[in-house]
Structure 1
Amino acid sequence: MMKTPITVLQELMVKFSQSPEYECIAQSGPQHLAVFEYRCSARGHVVSATARSKKEAKQEAARLMLARLAAAGLNVPAPYAAPCPPCPPAVGDGDAVAAGSGSRSYKALLKELCQEYNLPGPEYTLEGDTGPAHARRFTARGAVGAHARVASATTKKAAQQLAAQQLYHYLRENLARLTEDFVEEDALARAHERAMERYVEARADAPHRPDLAQRVADYHLEEEQVNLGADALEAASPDAEPETALQAVAGALGLRVEWHSLPAEQGGSLTLVRLAPSSPPLVFCARTREAAAAEALAYLRLTMKFRDQK
């Protein structure tokens, strides 16, 4: 039987005559949908993790600590030496991992893992939402067959991503010998290709291009195209050039990317990028093409997040 992260971390710390420290630092949500956050400290490192039970949160915190120690050069046994994204910096910032600009889509990874090893497809349900309108927290449940995880965040999509992340790591750890040939970067590339294939098929069935409003509050793309754009954003590699990512996302939304250059008053020139057709025009300006593309991507990301909260 495979050892749990808590056991592996305890055995590792014994070699240094030390013990890891655990602390339950937060509990949120109603009693029947409570979410617990555990903090783990060891060798000068601190990580935190959330789950629907204290036991699962503690195990997840131990797993994250093992990955952190492995990155610091300690000899951590497989599969716990696998790299993981940085932990949220503060309590309540549950979507920092899932929705950060440098993160990867665990929903896409989980879906690819299930397809490759003939597991039931992941399913997501909204379990509840709490808090005032300006500080809403959503609780989502992700399930693969009989396995399920629940997570909460400030948006529905971020909560789903966190649930998918917990499920993905659980399956990789417990099926380590069977999934050792699963390459995450290849899986993300396949997810991106499928998203683009769906876009091409959708464009063949509905070739019109909807207008895009300048104000986020007036954003009114059709649901299918919003989903395609969101898929393209999620599937984009964190290391991709902003221009490449913008081209993929704009294409999924049915928009052209047009580049223009204007002379600047203080010398040099300004780069303009326009997403067309849109009414009123969507134009973003910066000193370089990369910076202009990054501005446009930031706007689209904010728009998708707003749409997801509605």
Structure 2
Amino acid sequence: MMKTAVTVLQEMMIKMCEVPKYECIAQSGPQHQATFEYRCEARGVVVCGRARSKKEAKQEAARLMLQQLHARGVPVPAPYATPPPRAASPAAPASPERPALPGPAAPAAPDARSSVALLRELCEEYRLGEVQYELVGDTGPPHLRHFTVRAALGLHQRSATATTKKQARQQAAEQLYTYLRENLARLTRDFVEEEALQRAQEKSILRARTDEALERYVELAGADDAPWRPDLGQRVAHYHLGLRAHLGEDTCARGLQALAEPQEAPERALRRVCDELGLRLETLALGAADTESVSVVRLASTSPALSFAGPTAAAAATAALRYLRRTLAEQPAAPQPH
């Protein structure tokens, strides 16, 4: 990856035991279309760069500084070792309606790069609702199609036509975003486009990671050796039926049959029932040697987690058998219509 102009200039100046100085000296234009000007000073040379964001203005100032240093005989690595453009002269007049930007090409504005993300962020922050995009036109021959996309928010809508659906969607979003920013200037004066873009990118990454985690969850849930996992759609009122829902009707029937067999020691009966249900039985004792201990049996792995305690191992096993008998015999409730 090519280093930025700021990085190249910083590394060059450090080798010369100096540090370039940057300062944001001006901000002009309306809030939704502001232009920033950065001043850079190094080795007695002063240049200024303008752009639609502070970050890009700083990069532009560093790029112009590298060009000026190269013109003065300082070794500058490519591609920054190019002569400074004539338009960079401070005496060059600038139009009040459209300020001249130094360099061969003006950097793209943030809203032009991701107008859909900016519009979504604006609507979410000020609760304007969700923007609806619709393909309303598709014309032209197969090798030169033109698509028309409409972006609508309530009673406001804007349409744009381009050679790709994505580009038309971006242009329609840009028009609607510009309209909202101009007409909601008092409400959105604290809306910073750079921060909105960063939040939109973070949300996009979070959504991608969430989708990946859900896909992994579904993949593991369908495996034969998958661990027990909670049912994400289970109602709180049916939480105690989580064991039955996971086992299935056939397994529950085998467990009930094992519970109905002739009486035997509770620990042995519980182990036999757990074998039928495919559960692992764990036992442990709590308490110090010189104090009265408590016996605990745990069924692993279940959702919800199931542990039963008693003064003896037989009492804990009896409590577990009592729960299994009641849960496996209970009929699942029919789903309620929405």
Same fold (TM over 0.5): no
Query: Based on CA coordinates, which of the two structures has the bigger radius of gyration?
Result: 2
Highest RCO, 1 vs 2 (Cα 8 Å, sep ≥ 6): 1
